[in-house]
């Protein structure tokens, strides 16, 4: 996180920017792992979620048509978000019935957006670093350039 902030705020702007850091070597592996974690869950993952909630609340799951709608709407989320949502619903949901898809989406979407945005930002920053390292590595700051000219 600190290296990403350095890349975003200092690279190519200040002379204090360290051109290399220990994080540069492990960042691609971490980002690849995080990217794999963000892949959409399977229908089985959603089915386990629904069955867990239905069993806990002792209610029935929807028929095939209803299940298909749950699958269509919830399979975009990664498994860890579906698992977190399942736990959250079991702990906090006030009604002894299976939540409607909107209840799931309201819980999953903010977490999904937050994780996706974080991964996108990190990937973008390290990609910018790689491009900068392969380029001229000059500092592009109009104020510093004027000081050097004097």
Residue 149 has pLDDT above 60, yes or no: no
- For 109-127, the pLDDT digits (tens) are 999 999 999 999 999 888 8
**Cα gap 72→76, rounded to integer Å:** 8
Phi, psi of 78 (to 5 degrees): -65, 160
**Cα gap 85→81, rounded to integer Å:** 6
pTM summary value: 0.80
Residue 73 has pLDDT above 80, yes or no: yes
- For 18-67, the pLDDT digits (tens) are 777 877 788 888 899 999 999 999 999 999 999 999 999 999 999 999 99
Domain boundaries, the chain: 2-38+115-149, 43-100
């Amino acid at each position: 996180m600190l290296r990403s902030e350095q890349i975003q705020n200092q690279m190519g702007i200040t002379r204090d920017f360290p051109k290399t850091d220990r994080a540069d070597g492990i960042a691609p592996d971490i980002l690849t792992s995080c990217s794999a974690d963000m892949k959409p869950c399977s229908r089985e993952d959603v089915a386990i979620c629904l069955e867990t909630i239905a069993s806990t609340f002792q209610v029935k799951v929807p028929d095939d048509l209803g299940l298909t709608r749950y699958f269509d709407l919830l399979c975009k989320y990664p498994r860890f978000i579906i698992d977190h949502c399942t736990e959250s619903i079991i702990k906090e949901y006030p009604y002894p019935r299976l939540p409607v898809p909107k209840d799931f989406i309201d819980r999953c979407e903010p977490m999904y957006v937050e994780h996706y945005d974080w991964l996108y930002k990190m990937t973008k920053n390290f990609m910018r670093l790689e491009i900068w390292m392969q380029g001229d590595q000059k500092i592009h700051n109009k104020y510093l350039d004027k000081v050097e000219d004097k």
